[in-house]
Chain A
Amino acid sequence: MNVHLPANHIQPPLLEVQDLTVEFATRRGAVRAVEKVNLTLAKGETLGIVGESGSGKSVTSYTVMRILDRAGRIAEGTITFGGVDVGNAPESTVRALRGREMSMIFQNPRAALNPIRKVGKQIEDVLIEHVQAQPSDAKEKAIEVLKAVRIARPEERYHAYPFELSGGMCQRIVIALALACRPQLLIADEPTTGLDVTTQKAVMDLVVELARERNMATILITHDLGLAAAYCDRVMVMEKGRVVETATAEAIFRAPRHAYTRKLMRATPRGGITLRDLLPEEIATEMAPLGVKVPPASGQPLLVVENLIKEYPRQSAVSSLARMFGAKVAAPEPFRAVDGISFSLAKGESLGLVGESGCGKSTTSMMLMRLLDPTSGQIIFKGEDLSKIPARTFARSPWRSRIQMVFQDPTDSLNPRFTAARSIADPLLQMGENVSGPALRARVEELARLVGLPSPFLDRFPHQLSGGQKARVGIARAIALDPELVVLDEPTAALDVSVQAVVLNLLHDLKQRLGMSYIFVSHDLEVVRMLCDRVIVMRAGGIVEEGETAAVMAAPKAEYTRELLSSIPHPPIY
């Protein structure tokens, strides 16, 4: 089916959505995920849809493609794409549009590709489906498409399976798939989530470049206002299924009209602001000032790490079996996840550990936490070499209560069968001084107050708590035993920006109040800048650069640090 677009000069918008309302059938009846959404999009225009989770931004785009799952339906409104009433057209009509006139790219690109089919074949499938190629010339055309998304050695990549390609490469394949039939509309749903910062930039640049080249309309769906502002002509902000504001990118940044937009904008980490600036103004003003940075206490540092190494054997079953039978097989070179790093941490200091995935920052933090035994090296905590105590027995060591951790995923880190109170009480029960009954409850409530969790929530189970509340429970548990060192492993990575703002402030205040030291593991330099005194940049298991946060950000010495900094999306205007 071919869609003929009217060829007159007063072009109607390519896509027009009017009063769109989408309902999902649940056991509590219909739930409205999207309510009365209106949008128009002209050829060649780029629209950003920004919102936090649950805002309905993804549902809107799925509805436009009409690939909602069974439970969802359009309750109201119309979608017109190139003159076709997408909402009411027969499935075959819409199917002919999909992939040919409108395409979509997704987050988590590796999962978005058929894992057991050669990527080239997957592109062929689309080409053949839409009669853009015959089986005879499909391969040739598929390779052309691969070339178009700037894939080096496309003939070779044609035969690759998704698992053989990097995340960034997979996203290029997904883009190739989406653009194979030269559609007029591309919907990019969080295309950079899950990718490393440097890759993120490359992918976004490619999308924008191709869109411009082909005069394609683009919808960019993201939670990151900065990203949207940097790449879009117009931005539409959504909250709880409704559009709160639509304006040009410039207007949104210069003069956000809606309170929610303002809140969202403020919460986005960016250069030159403090933690308090992340919070909505009315709250920020009520809070105590950040306080002056105390110079690190002189004398013995709290933690000294000396030449820490973690190796993983690269072992194959065949050779280990052969060894079992006595054959002498050379052990393959082990893989070094952490390659001889050294640093120290003063009492009351907070240190940022920054790097892309696979750089060894998580392995380092696990070793510092004594959940993992290093291959060699020393972890000297208050003068005691903790690496001598094996991780297996460390739980029973008195040092255990001195070092605690806040985990990346607040959902995953809470036992689903425990109430919030029970989770917070767990360390007290295991290592506390025989507190029980009302005293224990009182202590738990005190901790809850400290992290700002209202006490009625204490008796809820994790699935009954929001992300921010779960994060608070995790923090309360970590500080229950008054630790001296807390490792924060990307504690806000799974949270929406507005929640992240609150949690970051909370962490900062707690540190001030309780005099703890932090090691803050993150991939986000902006966040590290606000929270940390010093920063260590890691790459491939080693330290690339180390120094005062402000100094490193202002004048990065290492090439890699510069690259990281330049990859942060910058809104066009400041």
Chain B
Amino acid sequence: MNRREFLKSATVLSSAAATGVAAPAVWSSASAQSARQETLLLVSESGPNNLDIHGVGTNRPGYEVAWNCYDRLMSYGSKTLPDGSASYDRDKLVPELAEEWSLSEGSVTFKLRKDAKFHDGTAVTAQDVKWSFDRAVTVGGFPTFQMKAGSLEKPEQFVALDDRTFRVDFIRPDRLTMPDLAVIVPSIFNSKLVKSKATEADPWGLEYTKQNTAGGGAYKVTKWQSGTEVVFERNDAWTCGPMPALKRVVWRMVPSAGNRRALIERGDADISFDLPAKDFVELDKAGKVKVVSNPISNGIQYIGMNVNKPPFNKLEVRQAVAYAIPYQKIMDAVMFGLGKPLFGGGSNKVSDPVWPQPHGYVSDIAKARELMAKAGYPDGFETTLSFDLGSAAVNEPLCTLLQESLAQIGIKASLNKIPGANWRGELIKKELPLISNFFSGWLDYPEYFFFWCYHGQNALFNTMGYKNPEMDKLIDGARLAAATNDWAVYKEDVNGFVDLAFTDVPRVPLYQPYLSVAMQKQITGYQYWFHRQLDYRTLKKA
């Protein structure tokens, strides 16, 4: 191509540029329009890194894939909340892959559906269930941990009686065993398919399931471009529930929150996740789109203090911090009211065995100063206030407000943003003096939360390194009482550990955040789930 030709073609291109600018985006071909009706376009900040819940380091968006592409034996029923929105019902288990089950002392026996098939057409058998559960308790990491939470620990507990009958033996009475069988981890895998892809180094075929869905759920992944999009197609042979309405789900990752809002506001996306609180509030107010918000069950945003190191080893200092926190300011300026306050409960003595619930602290700088003086820090001290960079949208303004208030009682806190991957590493070390963080438990029980966050076993989520034999006794007592249906003791113990957590304040709960989703008005069937991801099976597009 000589220069003249080059210039010519360049002119053509630039005139094309001009038309592109002048004409509004042209995209209204007929085929494209009809495709839109059966397709759900979903936008969120980030996408899955692994399609398998059993995989190593599978992230939260990955849970959504597992939830929609695999079946469990049971699922949770649904209920309508007082505000009219739908939610899963933690107390009601419903059949999914299992038609029915019978509970006895020491075991539960499931009967599988006759017509259930995997995506490749092979029938689902009890051996597949056994293999899947064995896998969950053996591969280690998160799935094994989650199974353990329901006292599901050893392959010997899982018995395939015949092709359609499957039994789980209990190793101890545990109130959480049955609910734990309905979470995402005990998904049923196509064991023949996965085994055929397994290698010596990878006996559970994790490499294959990472890239491919190998289940029998209502949807299957037909395209996955990591970090860009995931495309789901409906499994028309699905039998474990009513046939979903949506044929196709396209899930696009849009990193900029502003763009996600614009997309939903202009009607280009059907559902938008992960918006800042302010956007949800405003979208709701504007009324062009539907915004559904549910309190995240068993979840709290909190300020954690390292109780093993001065100065936060002093109770008075911790209480001073609890009195110094500008609770209402945070609710207003950071959350725009989108959260359930967990402060100003009147007293630190509670009467109901529920969690989360408000504590008795309020913003009271005078009292905080008094406590600081009492603790021997009348002039305050210097410390760092850390948070996860990945959740900076909430934490940065929150911590800035906190920092300002702490300065009033002499605590000079510098803010420390820790990039996502390091955050967990830093938490494990338990050396950060002061953090702002969020935690939620899948299983919505107070003792479950406290077992992970306050118990002396010092799990990762006990970010404060809090150890108190009295606390441990109350938590263990409540767990036992729940398993044995001793509700009087249960109430006493739960109230006891909540009271103790409030008086000792290793962590100060701020609020219970909401999970919000913005969607177009013609989208119906949205339901809140404990895993905080979408269930495509119930969604409809009018």
Q: Do chains A and B touch in the complex (CB under 8 A)?
A: no
